[in-house]
């Protein structure tokens, strides 16, 4: 038995000296001291030894166990120290290198533009109303005088969530929801995101932002519409900005118009300072900025108003469109690409 213990000791010392890692050391611990380990096997063999020899052999086995445990602990400390030295050597920090700074954030240009537009209308006495991004067909189309077979639905390629639910294609449904709950006089704007199934290119995006606005009272005239929108254009662009109104068509307004402003680059001349055709307005001198009109009597009937008693105006504009004109941006995709070189310019 004594020779067996000495051989086991020498074998263990040879193997522990070649253990390169903590994982290998744990395997060695199990091999010798585990439930089925070599030393455990010898301890279980004590019952086969003569009774008078068992105390002596048992004492030697226990001393060997403590020796193996001490060797394992010493080797573990040695491996950890070696690993710590390697980490300090390879992962050291060069304190002479310049640090990396956290870049200061800023408001997104679309938010800046939205806030500026809203502030102009708040200054004219409008209030803000909001509605759900997921709308029902009734509020998004039917109550705005766009029945299911109306060709105007083709003007807005829609994302449908279900047969009767959709991602709103404009913020005009907020107009219906406000008028359903309240009686005139009303003077409301509805800013928010809208969604259309458009291919992403320099002027189109499947998600963009609008500001819808409307006024309803007993005596609202087309001159009120012109006055509100002219003031808006001159507040956003330039105090001397010229505007014009062109006849157009929208199912929920009658008459309907589109408002143009003089080109922000050539100032309505159609040519640049070097006598080249203006690339922004394509030499026309004018830029379309929004659609508007007098609220159609049919819309009033949907919300329970009497068209012979009230009248109203409505308008809607794309925030990205206004921002592109104001900031001289030619590609709408820049607003959504999170390019820091672009966003830093709006601090």
Report pLDDT for 1: 61
C-beta of residue 129 within 8 angstroms of C-beta of residue 174: yes
Pair (47, 158) in one structural domain = no
Pair (84, 143) in one structural domain = no
Q: 196-230 pLDDT, tens per residue?
A: 988 888 888 999 999 999 999 999 999 999 999 99
Pair (232, 172) in one structural domain = yes
Does residue 313 have a pLDDT over 90? Answer: yes
Pair (311, 215) in one structural domain = yes
Pair (330, 200) in one structural domain = yes
Bridge partner list, 291? 258, 316
Buried b (16+ CB within 10 A) or exposed e, 75-91: beeebeeeeeeeeeeee
Average pLDDT, the chain: 87
Pair (184, 327) in one structural domain = yes
Residue 96 lies in a domain: no
Does residue 316 have a pLDDT over 90? Answer: yes
For the sheet with 207-217, list strands across it: 127-128, 186-195, 207-217, 311-318, 286-295, 253-262, 243-250
What is the number of structural domains in the chain? 2
Does residue 134 have a pLDDT over 90? Answer: yes
Pair (86, 113) in one structural domain = no
Task: Indicate the burial class of 209 (C-beta count within 10 angstroms; 0-12, 13-18, 19 or more).
Answer: buried
Domain-terminating residue out of 63, 90, 117: 90
Average pLDDT of the residues in 37-65: 77
Pair (127, 8) in one structural domain = no
Query: Which secondary structure element, helix H or strand E, spans residue 229, and what is its range?
Result: helix 222-236
- Residue 323's CATH number: 3.30.930.10
Report the alpha-carbon distance of residue 294 to residue 251 in Å, rounded: 11
Residue 50 lies in a domain: yes
Pair (163, 251) in one structural domain = yes
Domain of residue 339 covers 109-346
Q: What pLDDT band is residue 91 in, cutting at 50, 70 and 90?
A: confident
Residue 300 lies in a domain: yes
Residue 98 lies in a domain: no
Q: 192-201 pLDDT, tens per residue?
A: 999 998 888 8
Residue 99 lies in a domain: no
Domain-terminating residue out of 58, 90, 122: 90
Residue 103 lies in a domain: no
Q: What pLDDT band is residue 15 in, cutting at 50, 70 and 90?
A: confident
Pair (85, 113) in one structural domain = no
Report pLDDT for 235: 94
Pair (15, 119) in one structural domain = no
Among 92-101, 107-116, 214-223, 291-300, the least confident range: 92-101
Pair (206, 315) in one structural domain = yes
Domain-terminating residue out of 90, 124, 154: 90
Report pLDDT for 48: 72
């Amino acid at each position: 038995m004594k020779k067996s213990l000495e051989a086991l000791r020498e074998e263990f010392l040879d193997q522990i000296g070649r253990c390169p890692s903590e994982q290998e050391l744990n395997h060695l611990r199990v091999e010798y001291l585990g439930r089925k380990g070599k030393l455990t096997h010898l301890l279980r063999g004590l019952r086969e030894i003569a009774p008078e020899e068992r105390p002596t052999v048992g004492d030697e086995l226990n001393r060997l166990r403590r020796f193996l445990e001490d060797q394992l602990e010493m080797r573990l400390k040695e491996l950890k120290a070696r690993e710590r030295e390697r980490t300090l050597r390879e992962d050291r920090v060069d304190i002479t290198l310049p640090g990396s700074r956290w870049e200061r954030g800023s408001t997104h240009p679309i938010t800046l533009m939205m806030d500026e537009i809203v502030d102009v209308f708040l200054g004219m006495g409008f209030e803000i109303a909001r509605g759900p991004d997921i709308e029902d067909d009734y509020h998004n189309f039917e109550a705005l005088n766009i029945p299911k077979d109306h060709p105007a639905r083709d003007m807005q390629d829609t994302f449908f969530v279900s047969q009767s639910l959709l991602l709103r294609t404009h913020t005009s449904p907020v107009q219906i929801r406000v008028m359903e709950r309240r009686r005139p006089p009303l003077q409301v704007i509805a800013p928010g995101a809208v969604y259309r199934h458009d291919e992403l290119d320099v002027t189109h995006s499947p998600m963009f932002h609008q500001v819808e606005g409307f006024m309803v009272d007993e005596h609202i005239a087309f001159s009120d519409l012109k006055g509100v929108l002219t003031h808006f254009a001159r507040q956003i662009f330039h105090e001397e900005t010229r505007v014009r109104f062109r006849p157009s068509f929208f199912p929920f307004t009658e008459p309907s118009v589109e408002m143009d402003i003089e080109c922000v680059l050539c100032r309505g001349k159609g040519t640049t300072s070097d006598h080249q055709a203006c690339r922004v307005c394509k030499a026309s001198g004018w830029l379309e900025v929004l659609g508007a009109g007098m609220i159609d009597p049919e819309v009033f009937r949907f919300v329970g108003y009497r068209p012979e008693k009230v009248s109203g105006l409505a308008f809607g504009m794309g925030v990205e469109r206004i921002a592109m004109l104001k900031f001289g941006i030619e590609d709408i995709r820049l607003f959504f690409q999170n390019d820091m070189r672009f966003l830093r310019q709006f601090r």
